[in-house]
């Protein structure tokens, strides 16, 4: 499949955070609450629950994703895992396949870096103890930089839950709330007004180098506002992530003089490297508005890299099947609007970074293959192109090939 000749086609790489499709060959090596991820299948199992009438809150009936299913979503699920997902049985009309990850993590940086052409060459550090999770010297460093006598939390916890349980004590003591999860992450929650947003960001910025030396992937600032019983996280989250160890597709596009656009937390994931224009928003709806706008406004030969996080943050980790299904159906409708605005010569790829099966045990990400859906627009639409089983790095190689960038990455183009 090739772009119409003479046109400087654009590329749009769109990550549906955690929207896995099962079938990872190494799933047994990854765990949730002591149980292996074998059999996890995020979109597939959501479709099963919807068809069985067990996901009726705010929606009803089988899972409906006509835009992505027409591209090949149902076929990709069957290819990845063998599951015939109810309601996702359209005959593919676009580019479709399933991608397998090789990085030794099922987290945000690993997935995104590899999709951008850079598999993670090291093992991440995890804080595995559920309580007293952090080494005493690290806790002391955070308190010293924060100017407090100690920290709160020091445990594994969901972000909203720990704010509810420790927010009042945080307001009383002024101590930062520090917590982690099954990911390689150190998170700090603090009241945006009483502790101060700038102070929170500076705290995270100063301690990040020490965490990065430990191979902890991200230090995340989690500001919130409100009073006890009514705390709400604000959209001013900031990730301080380790920089990728090699040039990503963003770096390569920027070096070639192509405009690069980052939507959502892409900037944070890539340490703001290789990015010309950053587009943020308070929620996925605002991010989708940016994506649709850029379908109209992004210049010839540009690269737009987008992340839609709420599948993961609001529904996957919280094991909310109906909420995840609502988000998928909403996204599919807006994806149709986006696709209708693309120009001949444009490439669009919808994919994911890992799984987070809301029907699965525990609350962690799940090791899964991910969909690869989309195609190059021509005057006749998008043509059928089954690409089969590919690697995450092949996504980056395909974007690079479409944009005419030098062949520098480890993957192979499937275009």
**How far is residue 297 from each of residues 261, 282, 334, 338, 342, measured CA to CA in Å?**
11, 21, 17, 12, 10
Q: Residue 181: name the closest of 243, 242, 129, 240 by CA.
A: 129
To the question of whether residue 354 is assigned a binding role by annotation, the answer is yes
Within 40-147, strands assigned E span 95-100
Rounded distance between C-alpha atoms, residue 120 and residue 19, angstroms = 20
Six token digits for residue 175: 């101590």
Rounded CA-CA distance 203/207 in Å is 6
312 is an annotated ligand-binding site residue: yes
Tokens (6 digits) for 283? 């929620």
Q: Provide the β-strand partners of residue 348.
A: 12, 375
User: Can you tell me the distance from the alpha carbon of 209 to that of 238, in angstroms, rounded to the nearest whole number?
Assistant: 15
Q: Is 353 annotated as a binding residue?
A: yes
Report which secondary-structure segment, H or E, holds 359.
none
- Integer Cα distance of 44 and 49 in angstroms: 9
**If you ran DSSP here, which 8-state letter would residue 131 be given?**
B
Q: CA 12, CA 294: separation in Å to the nearest integer? A: 9
Residue 282, exposed/middle/buried by CB under 10 A (0-12, 13-18, 19+)? Answer: exposed
Environment class of 233 (CB within 10 Å of its CB; exposed 0-12, middle 13-18, buried 19+): middle
Count CB atoms within 10 A of the CB of residue 350: 29
How many residues make up the chain in this entry? 415
Give, in order, the Cα–Cα distances in Å from 319 to each of 46, 77, 221, 360, 364.
11, 20, 23, 8, 10
Helix (H) or strand (E) holding 410: none
Q: How many CA atoms lie within 13 A of 389 on its CB side?
A: 13
**Does 261 show up as a binding residue in the annotation?**
no
Question: Cα separation of 349 and 371, whole Å?
Answer: 9
DSSP designation for 27: G
Q: Write out the DSSP string of 214-261.
A: TT--EEEEEEEEEETTEEEE-S--EEEEPPPSS--HHHHHHHTT--EE
Per the annotation, binding residues for Mn(2+) are: 17, 312, 317, 353-354, 365
Per the annotation, binding residues are: 17, 312, 317, 353-354, 365
């Amino acid at each position: 499949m090739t772009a119409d000749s003479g046109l400087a086609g654009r590329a749009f790489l769109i990550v549906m955070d955690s929207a896995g499709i099962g079938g990872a060959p190494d799933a047994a090596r990854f765990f949730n609450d002591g149980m292996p991820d074998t059999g996890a299948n995020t979109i597939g199992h959501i479709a099963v629950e919807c068809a069985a009438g067990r996901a009726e809150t705010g929606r009803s009936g089988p899972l409906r994703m006509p835009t992505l299913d027409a591209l090949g979503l149902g076929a990709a699920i069957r290819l990845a895992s063998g599951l015939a997902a109810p309601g996702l049985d359209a005959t593919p009309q676009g580019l479709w396949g399933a991608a397998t990850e090789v990085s030794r993590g099922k987290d945000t940086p690993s997935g995104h870096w590899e999709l951008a052409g850079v598999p993670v060459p090291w093992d991440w550090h995890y804080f595995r103890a559920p309580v007293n999770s952090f080494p005493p010297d690290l806790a002391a460093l955070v308190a010293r930089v924060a100017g407090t006598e100690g920290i709160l939390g020091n445990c594994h916890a969901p972000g909203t839950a720990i704010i509810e349980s420790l927010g009042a004590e945080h307001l009383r003591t002024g101590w930062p709330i520090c917590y982690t999860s099954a990911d390689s992450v150190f998170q700090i929650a603090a009241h945006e007004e009483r502790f101060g947003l700038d102070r929170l960001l500076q705290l995270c910025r100063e301690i990040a180098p020490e965490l990065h030396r430990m191979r902890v992937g991200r230090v995340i600032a989690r500001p919130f506002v409100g009073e006890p019983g009514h705390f709400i996280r604000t959209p001013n989250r900031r990730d301080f992530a380790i920089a990728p160890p090699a040039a990503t597709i963003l770096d390569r596009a920027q070096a070639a003089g192509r405009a690069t656009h980052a939507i959502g937390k892409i900037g944070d994931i890539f340490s703001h490297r290789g990015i010309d224009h950053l587009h943020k928003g308070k929620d996925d709806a605002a991010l989708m508005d940016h994506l649709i706008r850029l379908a109209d406004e992004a210049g010839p030969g540009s690269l737009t890299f987008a992340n839609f996080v709420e599948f993961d943050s609001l529904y996957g980790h919280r094991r909310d099947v109906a909420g995840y299904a609502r988000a998928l159906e909403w996204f599919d409708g807006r994806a149709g609007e986006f696709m209708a605005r693309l120009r001949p010569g444009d490439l669009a790829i919808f994919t994911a970074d890992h799984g987070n099966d809301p029907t699965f045990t525990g609350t962690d990400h799940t090791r899964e293959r991910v969909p690869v859906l989309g195609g190059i627009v021509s005057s006749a639409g998008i043509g059928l192109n089954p690409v089969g089983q590919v690697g995450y790095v092949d996504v980056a190689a395909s974007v690079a090939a479409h944009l005419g960038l030098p062949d520098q990455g480890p993957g192979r183009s499937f275009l």
